[in-house]
Amino acid sequence: MSEKRTVLVVDDERPIREGCHRVLAGRGYDVMTAENGQIALDFLAKQPVDIILLDLKMPVLGGEEVLEITREKYPDVPVIIITGHGTVDTAVDCMKRGAYDFITKPFQIDQFVLTVKRAAEKRELEEKAKQFEEERSRNLYDLNFEKSRLKTIINCMANGVMVTNRNLEVVLHNPAFVRLMEIPHAIDNPLPANSIIKDASLIETLQEIQSAQSAKDEFVSQEIQMGKNVLRAISAPALDPARRIMGTVTVLENVTAFKQLDQMKSDFVNMVAHELRSPLVSIRQLDSVLLEGLAGPLSAKQQDFIDKSAKRIDGLLELINDLLDVAKIEAGKFLQHRVPTDIGKIVEEIIELMAPKAREQGVALTCTCENLNPVLADPKNIEEVFNNLITNAINYSPDGGEVSITARSLMEHIEIKVSDTGVGIPAEELPKIFDKFYRVKHPKTRKVIGTGLGLSIVKGVVEAHHGTIDVESAPDKGTTFRILLPMVTA
């Protein structure tokens, strides 16, 4: 490092703070410590730091809140998350929201030091890049010198960089690109992109970008398989000062570790769900035997206890089934058997099934289906979609009102709307409602039981059928879900 870097260690465990101080101070870092998030923010307001080591679980103010604030106020400071093995998923989510990296407790000292060193190098490169930009704006550098400086910065990047010209020839690349693309030999520019890129989808993307009629401030993100690694390729047009497309710029990032973490999480959920379901089903069957009096008469108190136990088991089985559905959707194995399906018939059957519950809650159920053509779908999955949406519409109309379902042909699609006049959803919560385990909170619906997986499953099923789903809502006015599904074409 060209200068001494300041590291702020934020952790409520004193041994962690002291251990980090001892290890980093001995390697030339200036180390500051804070025992919670609020103290850290107060420190940052008074003194700049270069790197933040941030624990997730702390009193007063937790790591996730501190990350959100630092990303807004101090975007140039790399944040390394300190996490236990039980919160790795949360740490990965923090990286998606701007954290630089994460390390798990207990620390492997070599890995810990290397992670901090990379963050320091990243900060130094960013500062050099910023300084270079400021100098470039003040002075008119010689083109060759500017190109040399830019190449030096690109060569230091961990991500692969490739620039092509209008003829789809590679005119600039860095060592990381050669390594990520597993090119066995050194390459000299210029050369045709398709001679070193074997992924047809990436070549097709570059061709589409260059064939655009006008330049747009957009990029294309896609995943490509390179040997055992999965790479995320982000491509965008390279523009001249007149905003004409002169070629493309592609940045490659190795996301294999994230893919493996997602797979480990899915495998774990799948295993736990399967292992739990069998004993729970057996217990539920025994409860049914007792409730039906087949094992002898029960007192009123015994009947009540067993009935409550059965309801709890039913809730657990519903959660397990939802978790298995989510795992299947993420693995792309949810749709089993697609056949021409009558959407109107499925909706009418669900309404007939839901009618007693709606009457009990004072909700009027209405349905209008107009000239519907069949859709190519898995009937069981589609039934689950509308069962979930209609159940939610009734549950979130605690003061009665109306739940209406309309279905009609709309060009090449079937449009289905499920509307209610219930409590509604605040605008700030709408982008989150399809997230797994997210539930809208409202004082009037505290007693509504659910896993928070229903809408995530609904979205996954609709998109697996090549459809779309969106939502409109306003607090105390109601909510409308709108689904478009492609019709069967002759």
Average pLDDT over residues 206-213: 79
pLDDT tens sequence across 178-204: 888 888 877 877 888 888 888 888 888
| Highest-scoring range by mean pLDDT, 136-145, 259-268, 383-392 | 383-392
Give the pLDDT confidence score for residue 132 in this predicted structure.
80
**Residue among 122, 56, 51 nearest 94 (CA):** 56
Average pLDDT over residues 349-358: 86
Residue 436 has pLDDT above 80, yes or no: no
Residue 16 has pLDDT above 70, yes or no: yes
Average pLDDT over residues 244-251: 84
- Asked whether 115 and 103 are in contact (CB, 8 A), the reply is yes
Tokens of 235: 């491509």
Counting residues of the chain whose pLDDT is more than 90, the rounded percentage is: 2
Comparing 370 with 163, the larger pLDDT belongs to: 163
CATH code linked to domain 146-254:
3.30.450.20
**CB burial string 150-176: b at 16+ within 10 A, e below:** eeeebebeebbbbbbbeebbbbbbbeb
H helix count then E strand count, the chain? 13, 18
pLDDT tens sequence across 270-290: 676 667 766 777 777 777 878
The domain locations on the chain are: 6-130, 146-254, 259-330, 339-486
CATH code linked to domain 6-130:
3.40.50.2300
pLDDT tens sequence across 301-338: 888 888 888 878 777 777 777 666 666 666 555 555 77
pLDDT tens sequence across 49-99: 999 998 888 888 888 888 889 888 888 889 988 887 666 777 788 888 888
Average pLDDT over residues 435-462: 70
The model's confidence at residue 482, banded by pLDDT at 50, 70 and 90, is very high
Comparing 13 with 148, the larger pLDDT belongs to: 13
Architecture of the structural domain at 339-486: 2-Layer Sandwich (3.30)
Comparing 154 with 126, the larger pLDDT belongs to: 126
- Is the pTM value of this prediction over 0.75? no
Cα–Cα dist 71/67, whole Å = 6
The model's confidence at residue 141, banded by pLDDT at 50, 70 and 90, is very low
The DSSP secondary-structure symbol of 298 reads: -
Q: Beta-carbon neighbour count of residue 72 at 10 Å? A: 9
